[in-house]
Amino acid sequence: MAKSVRQAIEDHAPWKPPKFEDADAAAVKALAQGNASIHQQKRAFAWIVECAANTYDLSYRPGVDGDRETAFAEGRRFVGLQLVKMVNLKIGARPNNSEEG
């Protein structure tokens, strides 16, 4: 049975914890402890960027609480965008200024 639009929107609320598998949790835990394998590092980073930060998701949320939910989604997305930016950054190609975004 198909979900209603309202249910789909509720299921996608930005403040709800992202879904994860045991392997995702193990990868993030190993990353935090500093002993993640290459595969776990990649899995943890992908989960953080794609699921926890929802980087590639549209931030806009409609409805009565849309403004707050959009702002919340943008906050999550901002974290993911900063991580992706650092991954793609050419080290040494910019002035050494830690205050720049």
Residue 83 lies in a domain: yes
User: Is residue 94 predicted with pLDDT exceeding 90?
Assistant: no
Position 14 in a domain: no
Question: Residue 33 CB: number of other CB atoms within 10 A?
Answer: 8
| Residue 99 pLDDT | 59
Number of domains present in the structure of the chain:
1
Q: For 19-48, what is each residue's pLDDT tens digit?
A: 999 999 999 999 999 999 999 999 999 999
Question: Does residue 29 lie within any of the structural domains?
Answer: yes
What Å distances lie between residue 23 and 26, 27, 39, 41, 93, CA to CA? 5, 6, 11, 11, 36
Query: Looking at residues 61-89, what average pLDDT do you find?
Result: 95
User: Is residue 36 domain-resident?
Assistant: yes
Q: What is the pTM of this model?
A: 0.82
**Tokens for 29?**
């835990």
